[in-house]
Every structure is written in structure tokens, then in C-alpha cells.
Structure 1
Amino acid sequence: MTMMIPFDNSYARLPEGFFARQAPVSVRAPRLIALNADLAQVLRITPGEAEEMAQVFAGNSVPEGAEPLAQLYSGHQFGTYNPQLGDGRAVLLGEVVGTDGIRRDIQLKGSGQTPFSRRGDGRAWLGPVLREYVVSEAMHALGIPTTRALAAVETGEIVLREGPMPGAVLTRVAQSHLRVGTFQVFAARGQLDNLRRLTEYAIQRHYPQAEGPMGLLRAVRDAQARLIAQWMGVGFIHGVMNTDNSSIAGETIDYGPCAFMDSYHPNTVFSSIDQMGRYAYSNQPEIAVWNLAQLATALIQQFEDKDAAVEEATEIVHAMPDLLQEQWLERFRAKIGLTRAEEGDLEMISDLLIRMAQNRADFTNTFRALGSQNARDQFTDPATYDQWAEGWQARVQREAVPAEVMAAANPAFIPRNHRVEQMIQAAVQGDYAPFQRLNDVLRRPYEDQPDAADLKRPPAENEVVQATFCGT
């Protein structure tokens, strides 16, 4: 059977200044690791033989209808503006409209050098490719907007990082790869025609109900507020919330030094490059507001009456903290079995989190086990939990079905860092069984799955992952 991808490209119709036309760079000996068959079906892709798919998803064979290109963008990285970034190791093959009517990009990540590589090799090694595959698909199963993984391929080549590593390519799918930084680059260069064209394109593609640039800003604000609250609800830490990693579609994008917390602490950082904790778990809502302000600054440039635009944009951005708080409260109320808002709910949730931090309680397992012996066992001093639970049980009695609400809000399984690292180490040795098992279990994160109980266990002291890396 010949592989077919029904491309229907729109970004490639934009002016040449938006991208560089760039074919993926061939690799020596591609081998298919995984194909996400369910996603392929949604994308209306007709799979081919494994060898043919390996050639396509490695970039050796450009399928009919594809228009490969590397996108241009800039961005603030850890608060410092970089005037030109762009796809330095990725190529957008094109777009498809799925069976659900949603338009999505299909992108090869790790596909070789582009004009935006900035002296990088344009490649990816196996570890980050498998990490992104597992974590992005886990996020999707958790119900959190995210880019997704369509395929992973070994390249048969060596990539030099800390040492020689096996190379790989990830095929990533997103509602688009438009970022805050895509707007910033045209605003910073004074290319207002391109900025207007990009704004119109983004509205048409993502938020057709939005009216003009400020309508787009409101829509992005609302999508990002929902997204960040969902991250917080599962203990997820993005790690590099730079504006070039902030999707205007409201999806989680760019899984580099990301991680899920084991024991809870609000200041948890995993990213090896986040030395000052800018993107710590508890800082993510604040950074989302900061990133939105950068988008506002870019969008304002296309207005003649800048004073009026600044006033309206300021109002939009300043409303985001309250929206984030509302979304956060909605998520965490559900996590403790509450569906109705009552005075004191915020204090009750905050009190639990403080006690969890003081007692090194596991974030996922504590919430999953609320009301049971297993919950108090997560605390170094179980009496601390008992003191909180007394007031909580009195409050939760006024709810109709708290157990059902909690079961739907609290996953039993997350991609724990030590399991992801163990999976990567096995794959480097040619053993993909842990990779396949993680994907299978994480596809159903809200089910107990007794046969996978070991994947719920927090890391032993010698298994703790201290830092995660971006892989470039």
C-alpha cells in the first residue's frame, strides 16, 4: 500500500518573508520506531509499508502535496529578546484537515539544518524524541491541549551532545506552529504589512469569531488561561516558557526540559538551563501574563491610534490574572471533589498544598487517593493530613458525587521523570518495550490499571531526576 497524506496547505501561500523554503535533509538508515495509528486515522493519512513510512517521516522522501518550509519567528528567551530564531531543526511539511474538520500542521523535528539553525546541527537525538512522543501523547490523554506525536524514526546516524547519541526524528502535529514570537519578529522589524497579514491569518485559522487584533488578543488570553490552569492541575512544569514556545492556539508546545512533579513544592524547577527559577511551577501563571503582554506589544504596532490600542490591550492583559485564578480554582475544586463554589474553598485548597509541600507529599498520588488511608500515607507526618481532612470531609458532604468528580480530575498515571529516563536508557540499548508500555498505560491515565501499579510509584532516592534538558 502506498502512503498518502491529503495535504491542504495555507501557510505556504503567505509571503516568502514568513519562512524559508527548505527540504528536510536525508539521513543514512531510517527505521520506524512508532506510528500513532489513531492520530493518522484522524488526519486521513493512508499508512504505507514500514520502510516507506520510515523514509517519509525521516525526511528522505517528501510526499506528494507537501511544501516543506522552515518558519521564521523571534522571541524572548528567559526575558531577553532574541531578534531572530525560527525553525532551526524542524521543517513543516504541510497541513491537513482531519476527519474532525480541524486543520493541523505536520512537522518533522530533527530534520536537519535550515537557514535558522544558528550554527546548530539541526538534528535531534533519540532521548528527547521519545520524551516528547510519550509526554505529548500523555497530555492529550489527560485532556490538555497539546501538540501530538504522529511518528518517531531512528536515523541510523550519530548526534553529538554530551557524547555520541543515536539520532532520531519526531513527526509533530499541531493546530499550527504560530507563536507569540511569530508576531514579535514582524513587529520588531517594522514589517507592518506582514504583521497585519499574520494577524488576519491567525484569526481566520484559529479564532474566526475574533474581531481584529484586540479580539485575537482576548482569544489567545482565554485559551492560555485555560491551558496554564490545566498544567497546574496535573503538576506539569513546562521548563522553557519563552515567547517562542508560547502557542497562540493555546496548545502545549515544545517539550524540552519539561517534567511532572513527584513530591509537591511550588518552587520546583527541572530545566537545567533555568538557573534562577523563572519558569518554576508556581511562576507559570505569571509568565503566561508576561508572554501575553509581549503579544499585545507586537499587535499594537499595526494601529494608527496607538494610545487607544495600548489602553484596550492593557485592559485585556490586566484581566488575565483573575481569569487564571478562576480557572485554577475550577480545576482544584474538582480535584478535592467540589463542584459548587463556597466561601473558604481557596483557603482549603491552599492549606492542603502548604501541608503537602511541608510533608513532601506526592502530588499525583495524594490527590488520587484523597479520603483514603493512601492519601495520609503520602505525608511524612500523617497527622498533618488528618487535621486538614477533618474540615474537608465536612465540606465535601454538601456535594452530590465527590468521588466521581475527583476520579475524573485526578489521574492515576502521569509520565514520571524516572520512568521516562529509564525508558530512554532502554531504547538507547535497542529495547523499546518500556517505551511501548508507557504509551499503552498513559493512554488511559484516569483508570487504575492494577497491572501497571509500578508506574504510579514515586522515584526511590537513587531514581530522582534532578534536571531535564532540551536536547539541542
Structure 2
Amino acid sequence: MTSFKFDNSYANLPEAFCRSCSPTAVAAPELISLNTSLATELGLDLHGLDAGALARIFSGNQLLTGSQPVATVYAGHQFGGFNPQLGDGRAILLGEIVDIHGRRRDVQLKGAGRTPYSRGGDGRSPLGPVIREYLISEAMHALGVPTTRALAAVVSGENVYRDEALPGAILTRVAASHIRVGTFEFFAARGDMENLRRLADYVIDRHYPAARDSDNPYLGLLNAVTDNQVALIAQWMSIGFIHGVMNTDNVLVSGETVDYGPCAFMDAYHPQTVFSSIDRRGRYAYQMQPAICQWNMARFAESLVPLLDDQQDNALAMATEVIRSMMPRYEQAWLAHMRAKLGLYTEQSSDKQLVDDLLAAMDASEVDFTLLFRSLCDAVENPLQAAAPAQLFASPRDWLGWAERWAARLAAETQYASERAQRMRSINPAVIPRNHRVQQAIDKATQSGDFSDFERLKRVLATPYEDHPADDPWLGPPPAGEKVCQTFCGT
């Protein structure tokens, strides 16, 4: 029997953390896609397995030797309201694998059937959300953003019933771990200090071993997790990514992006942009993401307060100091990204105003976020003569006024223009998963079983910093009639 050399640790924690739960077999699984490069990275031996065998494995129909499948429990603040118990309602953790680089990775099935935490749901996933998560999570990885990964996708051969009958599918997801801020909230809300401490110790040992050597390991944990979240959100903002549902149960303490339901990339730059169909008040709009990150980390800090110090006042002071320091750290991280996107590698006090003024002009002219920054890679050699970015603005004057200031700022840099342009092309993507193309791939797959657009997107999104001349007309912003203004949760 095929083995993935599972080396499980989370499944061996007490029952309060997770419940044994096997996938529910599906009728006729068929492999849509296998991420062979990720499989190699994980050290998986798939030699000699045909598509049918792979479909059985990645649907959960065949349970591999060494797997200890469990559903994990957690709580969460959802749109600001606390739910004391959530958990894996349609996800099953098959186990952990130590990859070829020595990193421990979770292997999880999404859409594999009911679990003890399904809360009346069917535990299944339609095909559309599986395609969306596969494409966008792998695009994020190629962009250099910490993220969960897609190892495989399988159609189930069964329908899933939402507003209508839809083809079902199962995604195999890989993560550094699936431990969430909501996992800490679950134990803290119950006053279960023994398991809260056990969880914190487990996370320190698995993700942040350096914290163990600090004077206060749990304060070290809080600092490390907030540092990673600050860095992650700054990256999201620098590429125009909107998560759409930044609930605390969707925040991994490892610092990876997780759950690609109502997410999207901006086309035209508007800081108020919202895509999620359920975010009616704009809580998770693009411009809100840094503040929501701080809010989520405040919930994490509250959960850790009992571990920080025996004196509550001291513990609260420690936690508050960390949370208050987040926005200055975020501004520094974000500005570093934006400087790099503009080809600036030294620092001047006027840089933030230069960036802010460009974004304001983009907002006023509805300039495409990705196209503008990619066009700067060529414009950097002669900003005042650059036609491509000028054409994106409603008035050339809007571009020229800013370009004069940019040219003056570039004069303070020491790199050759060609070297600067090359570096900028490694930072400003030429390709993102455009919402209308992702939806087009979903529609073709669900309506007629045509995965050609899915395969095409997989190919171009794997190299987002390279130009794709043959695909240029297909990769650009959407025509007015093809704009996708809403995205939906997979459940």
C-alpha cells in the first residue's frame, strides 16, 4: 500500500483538540490536477500510480497507511461576533509530512464529507470553490506570498446542493499547520488553561522555537505571530489582494494565507473595494485589512494574557504594547514594498507622500493597479517620456505631474536604470489571477466539464513576473461587461 510517510503530532494531542474522523467515500472520483512540483517537495512517492489510483487517494476513498485523519476544533470572531465553537466542518486533516527540506506540513482534504463540527452541513464542496482555491493559492505562492498550497483537485462524481445542484469536488491542501487564532480563542473562552498552555507550547515548538529561549516564551510567541501577520498583510496590500473574510478562524498562526473563498485581486485601484457578497458594510475592504489584522491580533493577545504573567495588569500591559506597535511596523513594511515597486532602494522622508499621491491619482482615474506598476518597470528609464503609464490616466497631466517628482526622486538612487528596471520586474507582477478569468474557468468546468481555462491559468500564473505576449489580450483587465464585482464563500 502507498504510504506518504506520515509523522503525526497534532492528532496525538488530547481529544479536546480534535476528533477522529475519516473521509466519506464518493461515487466516482476523477483527478482534475496534481501539483507534481509540490508532491516532489513533500517527498511523496507516486511512482506507478495511475490517474484512477491518484483520484482514490486524493478523494479520501483510499486511506493511506500512517494517516490519522482528524477534524480540528476552534472558535472564531466572524465579522466581529464571537462563535465559541466552530471547527473543521468540511475539512479533514489526513496527517503531517516532513518534507525534503525538513519542514513539517499538514495534508488536509477539503470537501471530504461530514465531521463532528459540520453543524448540519454536508461537509462537501462544489467544484467552483476548489478551482478558485487551487488557482489563487498557487498564484500567491508564485508571487512569493506565504500561503497554503494546493496539492491536488478531484471531482467527486456526485452533486452538491446549494442554491442548485453543482458538481462536487475535493481539494488536497498543504499548510505549515492549520492552527488558527480561533484555536487559541477556543480554549481561552472556556478557561481551559491547561490546554491553552499545551497549545501555546506546541505552536512554539513547531513554528517559533526561538521564542522558547526568550525571557517570556509566550510574549515571544505573541511578538512572532504579530510580526508574521504584519509582513503578510503588507504583501497583500502591495499586490492589490483582498482576502474578503478576515475572521479570526481564518488567521493561521504560522503566518500563511488561508481560505480563498470570497477573495479577489483589485483591477482598478479603489481603496474601498469589497468583493465578498456577505461583507455588506465593508468590514474587510482593501483599505481595512491592516486595521483588521491589528484587531485580530488583539484577540490573539487576549487569549494569551493568562500565560503572559501571573499578574493580570502586567500581562495586559505586555499584550497592549505589542498590539499598539503593530501599525507603525505595518507602515514600515508596506512602505518598503511600495518603495521597491517604484524602484527606490534608499529611504527619504517624502517617500510616503510620493506613494500616497500616486495612489490618489490612480483612484481618481480608475487606473488598473497591476498594469500601472508593471508599466513603471519600463518607465523607470525615462519617466517623463513614458507613454504606457500616461495612457492609463484620465488626463496625461495627472501622470506627468507625479512623474516629474518620481524622476527627481530616482535621481537620488545609485543603480543604473536598466538594473533598477530588472529588479522592479521581479516585484511588480505582469500576471495576476484576474477575477473574470477565474470565474470563466469555473463556469466552463462546472457547466461543461471543460478545464482548458483552468489549465491555461495554471500555466501563466506559475510565472507571474514574466511577460506572456501570446496571452496578453487574455490576461488584461476585464471589459466593462465582464467585470466580477462579487465573490462568494465556498460553503
Q: Is the 8 A contact 2:30 2:155 kept in 1?
A: yes
**Deviation of the 1:49 alpha carbon:** 1.7
Contact 2:3–2:66 (CA<8 Å) still a contact in 1?
no
Partners of 2:34 and 2:367 lie apart in 1 by 37
Is the 1:3–1:49 Cα contact (8 Å) retained in structure 2? no
CA distance in 1, matches of 2:400, 2:165: 51
Which digits, 9 at most, give the CA deviation of each residue in 1:161-207, with x for residues without a partner?
A: 22111000000000000000000000001111000000000000000
Change (3 A) 1:184 1:166: same
Residue 118 (structure 1) aligns with: 119
Of residues 275, 279, 291 in structure 2, which corresponds to 1:274?
A: 279
- The correspondence for 2:392, drawn from 378, 388, 393, is 378
Q: CA deviation at 1:285?
A: 0.4
Report the alpha carbon displacement of residue 386 of structure 1 after superposing the two structures with TM. Answer: 1.5
Query: How far is the alpha carbon of 1:307 from its aligned partner?
Result: 1.4
Q: Which of 286, 290, 310 is the aligned partner of 1:285?
A: 290
Q: Provide TM-score, normalisation by structure 1.
A: 0.98
Q: What is the 5 A alignment of 1:312-461?
A: 312-370=318-376, 371=379, 372-399=386-413, 400=415, 401-428=419-446, 429-461=448-480
Alignment of structure 1 residues 53-64 onto 2, 5 Å? 53-64=54-65
Amino acid at match of 2:402: W
| 1:299 lines up with 2:298 in the alignment | no
Contact kept? 1:396, 1:402, Cα under 8 Å: no
Shift of 1:454: 2.3
RMSD: 0.9
Find the aligned partners of 1:177 and 1:305 in 2 and give their Cα distance.
Answer: 31
What is the 5 A alignment of 1:30-429? 30-47=29-46, 48-210=49-211, 211=214, 212-302=217-307, 303-370=309-376, 371=379, 372-399=386-413, 400=415, 401-428=419-446, 429=448
- What whole-Å deviation, never above 9, does each CA across 1:323-345 have from its counterpart, x for those lacking one? 10000000000111101001200
Q: Deviations over 1:15-67 (max 9, x none)?
A: 11101110011111100000000000010111122111111111111100000
Provide Cα deviations, 1:72-117, integer angstroms capped at 9, x if missing partner: 0000000000010000000000000111111100000011111111
Q: Secondary structure at the match of 1:196?
A: helix
The total of aligned residue pairs comes to: 471
CA drift at 1:119: 1.0
Counterpart contact for 1:73–1:86, Cα < 8 Å? yes
Structure 1 stretch displaced more, 411-420 or 367-376: 367-376
Using the TM superposition, give the Cα deviation of residue 376 of structure 1 relative to its aligned residue in structure 2, in angstroms.
Answer: 1.5
TM-score, structure 2 as length reference: 0.95
> CA offset at residue 456 of structure 1?
2.9
Q: Secondary structure at the match of 1:15?
A: coil
SS of residue in 1 equivalent to 2:196: helix
CA shift, 1:351, in A, is 0.1
2:18 counterpart residue number: 19
Summarize the Cα distance change of 1:227–1:136 in structure 2 as closer, same or farther, 3 Å threshold. same
SS of 1:368's equivalent? helix
| Unmatched 5+ stretches in structure 1 | none
Find the aligned partners of 1:4 and 1:373 in 2 and give their Cα distance.
57
State the AA in 2 paired with 1:46: D
> Matches of 2:243 and 2:230 in 1, distance apart?
15
> What does the per-residue CA deviation read over 1:194-239, in whole Å, with 9 as the maximum and x for residues that have no partner?
0000000000000000142111000001101110000001000000
Contact (CA 8 Å) 1:368, 1:412: kept in 2 or not? yes
Q: CA deviation at 1:404?
A: 2.3
Does residue 471 of the first structure (1) align with residue 490 of the second (2)? yes
CA distance in 1, matches of 2:294, 2:133: 25
Q: 4+ runs of 1 displaced by more than 6 Å?
A: none
Contact 1:411 1:446 in 2 (8 A): yes
Determine helix, strand or coil for the equivalent of 2:210.
coil
Identical amino acids, percent of aligned pairs:
54
Cα pair 2:242 2:266 within 8 Å, conserved = yes
